[in-house]
Amino acid sequence: MISARVKRPLVSIIIPAFNEEKNITVCLDSIAHQDYKNTEVILVDDASLDQTVQFARKMGKKNNLNLRVITQTVHKERGFTRNQGAELSKGDYLLFIDADMKLEGKVISQCMKAIEDSNLGAVIVPEESFGEGFWADCRRLEKRCYIGDNRIEAARFFIKKSFWNVGGWDKEMISGEDWDLTKRVGKKYVIGRIQAKILHNEGKLTLWNVIRKKFYYASNSGFYLRKYPLKVTDLLFFVIRPAYLRNWKLLFANPLTTIGMFFLKFIEIVAGGLGFLYSKLLSLH
């Protein structure tokens, strides 16, 4: 007698999206090609002004994805939209990704195996970046240095119970919310990691985009810094990261890109400092 195949647990993949028509089809296609098939996708559209929703539904239908689209009429921050997706999810496991990301084929299966084998509460999925132009190459080199660094990487895959036991995403936090959630989960549960990667599309990265993004997040870092006040060691860590020393062979093998990477980090430090000062000046009024 042939035994019936045991159905694997449902994994809910939550994707917040705002004006991501250029990326969402690639993201959903990578989910469709996972070797773990029992998934649902919850796309929380954050009041997009383009055709993100239409493109997502078309790709979902093409690949026979178990896709639900939640549309918001007012723009919210990621913590709010991610919690909204988690609240509506049916799975006992949650994977949070962004619309400009794609998954290598074994991400979900490796996360599930890690949790089942080691009784974990959450899993870190290493992230690499790609994009167009020199600055995107510099960012890719930087991200490669961070793989395996628990002080930089954050968890993306959670048992739903562990996620809600710590309160989910802090919906008030705009900057550092991924580190915050990982720290809270790490106080109660063991966090593991896998080898398969998430690939983040940086697009055509420019210095102006880097400056604008860093300024925005630094000027909205108040919630995080009140929860985790900066220490001198933290400031030194942002300037002289051990990850660079550990990966000195990789950096030396790519000298021009390495110089660009450090220049990019310098620009981010300046933009972040200005953003922080700007937030302090606003608080005085």
Q: Please give the single-letter amino acid code of residue 110.
A: Q
Distance, CA of 269 to CA of 83 (rounded, Å): 30
Distance, CA of 270 to CA of 17 (rounded, Å): 29
**What is the structure's pLDDT at 2?**
39
Instruction: Read off the pLDDT of residues 180-196 as tens digits, 9 standing for 90 and up.
Output: 999 999 999 999 999 99
Residue 119's contacts (CB-CB under 8 Å, 6 or more residues apart) are 190
Sheet containing 39-46: order of strands: 67-72, 39-46, 11-17, 93-96, 155-159, 122-124, 191-193
pLDDT tens across the length of the chain (285 residues): 334 456 799 999 999 999 999 999 999 999 999 999 999 999 999 989 999 999 999 999 999 999 999 998 788 888 999 999 999 999 999 999 999 999 999 999 999 999 999 989 999 999 999 999 999 999 999 999 999 998 899 999 999 999 999 999 998 898 899 999 999 999 999 999 999 999 999 999 999 999 999 999 999 988 888 888 877 666 666 667 889 999 999 999 999 999 999 999 999 999 999 998 988 887 776
Per CATH, the number for 11-204 is: 3.90.550.10
- Pair 198, 126: CB distance under 8 Å: yes
Instruction: Read off the pLDDT of residues 46-91 as tens digits, 9 standing for 90 and up.
Output: 989 999 999 999 999 999 999 999 998 788 888 999 999 999 999 9
